[in-house]
Amino acid sequence: MSQQPPPLPPHDADEPIFLEDSFAGGGERIDDDKGRIFPCESCGADLVFNIKTQKLRCGHCGFEKEIGIDPDREVEEQDIYAMLAHLRELREYPDQEGDQQEQEVRCESCGATLLFVDSVTSSECPYCASPIQLEHA
């Protein structure tokens, strides 16, 4: 009585799967100059942009998320030197209002960083819909 192993899953050469070590940070993902991190709606792993399909794709479970792009919107080139000058000016002459308080809060479920402004003490994470509350509010 010889048992045959199950067949291998189909291999799609155009769509490589790269798995990352998800246990390194103990569930907390810190952005190491990768830009925003989007959790998979199916399994919670990181979604990665797939340039071929123009979608966010999960390397763990294969879930794909559409990116809402307006086809009628034109790409507008920005002048980097003008933006750098503007940022330098903001740093040298901060806004006179100054009474607006901002506080960054990290979502414990997905690791997203949220900005609480003024008297806001609780909210919902826009990425994973978990409730978020300031600890010392």
Which range of residues forms the domain containing residue 46? 10-68
* Cut 0.75: pTM above it: no
Q: Does residue 74 sit within a domain?
A: no
**How many angstroms separate the CA atoms of 111 and 45, rounded?**
11
pLDDT in tens, 46-85: 888 888 888 889 988 989 998 887 888 887 888 999 999 9
Q: Identify whether 84 is part of a domain.
A: no
Burial degree of 47 (CB within 10 A; 0-12, 13-18, 19+): buried
Same domain, 105 and 61: no
Shared domain for 63 and 111, answered yes or no, is no
CA distance 58 to 87: 35
| Joined tokens for residue 109 | 């479920």
Residue 75 lies in a domain: no
Q: Is the pLDDT of residue 95 over 50?
A: yes
Asked if the structure places residue 4 within a domain, the reply is no
Q: Are 47 and 35 in contact (CB under 8 A)?
A: no
